[in-house]
Structure 1
Amino acid sequence: MYNQINLLSKALNASWKRNEVIANNIANVNTPNFKRSDVEFEEILKRYVNGDDLTGVTTHQNHIPIGVRSIADAEHKVVNNGGFSTRRDKNNVDIDVEMAELAKNTITFNTLSTQLNNHFSRLRIAINEGKR
């Protein structure tokens, strides 16, 4: 149960950050030389779930952790997509793509928050029924 709540919280954080990044891309649609950014989380999560990451075991607190060992270590990251430019001013933001991504992310965020609320509702029901 705790893992599911932690996973949903991580996904909500990534979705929230993605919303901020998309809003920044949209705000800079007419800024010359601006390169759009994106948030990576789904691939990081997929590698964690499939166990594809090489993980190291730390035996001392000063050891540097290698790879994603638990869902608590799986964090989203913002990446800059500056490899191409579709316009003369070297800006690579396409407003139609950004608006579609914003709509998709809004649906994702709403779905994740509903799932998390349902989780807490089930916990609340179990606690209240246990009192009887």
Structure 2
Amino acid sequence: MSLFSHTIRMLEQGLDYASLRQKVIANNIANVDTPNYKARDVQFRTELDRAIGSFEAKRTNPKHLPFLHTTDQKFFVTTRGNLVYNHNGNNVDIDQEMSNLAENQIYYNALVEQLNGKLTELKTVIKGGK
């Protein structure tokens, strides 16, 4: 039995994802004028697989495929090499990167608020509801 019912662990993984994505986006913005630099991104599929990995599906037939548990996988960063926006071979779109940065910041802040709420609940329980 888990004390926190996996909620805090899931929020922690989400924060890890948002933190890595923030670093990757900042690196893309820093290299906006670097010749032949290819923009990078963090794969969301890994995070989705990690979240789904904690669920168990009921199999009504032995021929049904079970969910694959991928909780030990790490996030991975890929290079977007299929587009070239600038004459110098750079494919960083500053407008897209700034949009990604704002979106990621909102996501991170929402996760922090959720984590604060969980910790406040625990604090209330520890104090006996006072």
Shorter-normalised TM-score: what interval?
A: 0.7 to 0.9
Per the alignment, do residues 45 and 20 of structure 1 end up closer, same or farther by CA in structure 2, a change over 3 Å counting? closer
Q: Residue 20 of structure 1: which of 23, 27, 41 is its match?
A: 23
Q: Secondary structure at the match of 1:38?
A: strand
Instruction: State the one-letter code of the partner of 1:46.
Output: L
Query: Number of matched residues?
Result: 116
Percent identity, aligned pairs only, is 37
Q: How far does residue 53 in structure 1 lie from its aligned partner after superposition? A: 8.6
- Counterpart of 1:47? 49
CA–CA distance in structure 2, aligned partners of residues 26 and 2 of structure 1:
38
Contiguous gaps of at least 5 residues in structure 1? 56-66
CA–CA distance in structure 2, aligned partners of residues 116 and 12 of structure 1:
10
Instruction: State the one-letter code of the partner of 2:47.
Output: L
> Per-residue displacement from partner, 1:74-127 (whole Å, max 9, x unpaired)?
432111111221221110000000000000001000000110111111011111
Per the alignment, do residues 45 and 21 of structure 1 end up closer, same or farther by CA in structure 2, a change over 3 Å counting? closer
1:37 aligns with 2:40: yes
Q: Is residue 10–residue 75 contact of structure 1 (8 Å, CA) maintained in 2? A: no
> Per-residue displacement from partner, 1:31-87 (whole Å, max 9, x unpaired)?
01000011123x2233341779974xxxxxxxxxxx61x3xx243211111122122
- Counterpart of 2:75? 76
Per the alignment, do residues 109 and 128 of structure 1 end up closer, same or farther by CA in structure 2, a change over 3 Å counting? same
- Normalising by structure 2, we get a TM-score of 0.79
CA–CA distance in structure 1, aligned partners of residues 13 and 115 of structure 2:
11
1:103 aligns with 2:96: no
Q: How far does residue 25 in structure 1 lie from its aligned partner after superposition? A: 0.3
CA–CA distance in structure 2, aligned partners of residues 2 and 12 of structure 1:
17
Per the alignment, do residues 74 and 127 of structure 1 end up closer, same or farther by CA in structure 2, a change over 3 Å counting? farther
* Bigger helix share: 1
RMSD of the TM alignment (CA)?
Answer: 2.3
Instruction: State the one-letter code of the partner of 2:12.
Output: S
